[in-house]
Amino acid sequence: MPAGFFVQQRIMRIMETNRLLAVMYHSAPLRAVLLCVLLLVVGATVKAQTSTFPGSWLGSWKGTLSWYRPGTDAPQLVPMQLHITAADTGYNWQLTYGAQAADYRPYRLLPRDSARGHWVIDERNGIVLDQFWTGDRLSGAFTVQSSTLVNSYYLQGDSLMVEFYSMGATPVSTSGEGTASSPRVDSYRLQGYQKAVLRREP
């Protein structure tokens, strides 16, 4: 086909696009639809920028830790604070339990392999706890003396949620027949559950 044919086709497509844009511009309902789409795109972009970890977690968080134990209905209430600030290396992860800073823990949050979601909380006393960014939560598990603890930190609305499960490190019972269809299964005593709801201070 002659080159002029393709030029003519391109001009026709441009004219058709301009005609559609003109119709949309002069149509109030279509303008409203375009505005809604634009707001959704901008909102999604802003959310993606502000929901990053740990950048969006920076600040001073304060609230109450509820400590539940098996066999008791009312939890023990403990004041709790978490201060997260940028440091030369990683982030300051400063925990405080109790009134008037009775139990102050100046930890550090450090990237071990952040591209794979691997972080560590350095207690700065030789103890380093591995943490993993999984499902919008920073979670880890560790055993100290006779207890195993599983922790999670995550944002929920305007709150920073903190959860700890503690259980005995040795099984209280073992069941199963030791076969492929009925393997041995160890059960552990749940010692407690802790949950804190922290609010960011202005």
7-40, pLDDT tens digit by residue? 466 666 666 766 755 655 566 665 554 444 444 5
Residue 177 CA to residue 175 CA, distance in Å, equals: 7
3-state secondary structure 148-197: EEEEEEEEECCEEEEEEEEEECCCCEEECCCCCCCCCEEECCEEEEEEEE
Residue with tokens 């380093």: 128
Over 70: is that where the pLDDT of 145 sits? yes
CB-based contacts of 79, cutoff 8 Å, min separation 6: 62, 63, 64, 65, 96, 97, 98, 99
What is the CATH number that goes with domain 55-200? 2.40.128.20
Residue 131 CA to residue 146 CA, distance in Å, equals: 20
Residue 68 CA to residue 194 CA, distance in Å, equals: 6
Write down the pLDDT at residue 25: 56
Q: pTM above the 0.85 mark?
A: no
Write down the pLDDT at residue 100: 73
Write down the pLDDT at residue 44: 40
Average pLDDT over all residues of the chain: 86
Domain ranges of the chain: 3-50, 55-200
Please write the tens of the pLDDT for every residue from 94-127.
999 998 778 999 999 999 999 999 999 999 999 9
Over 70: is that where the pLDDT of 50 sits? no
How much is the average pLDDT of 74-80? Answer: 97
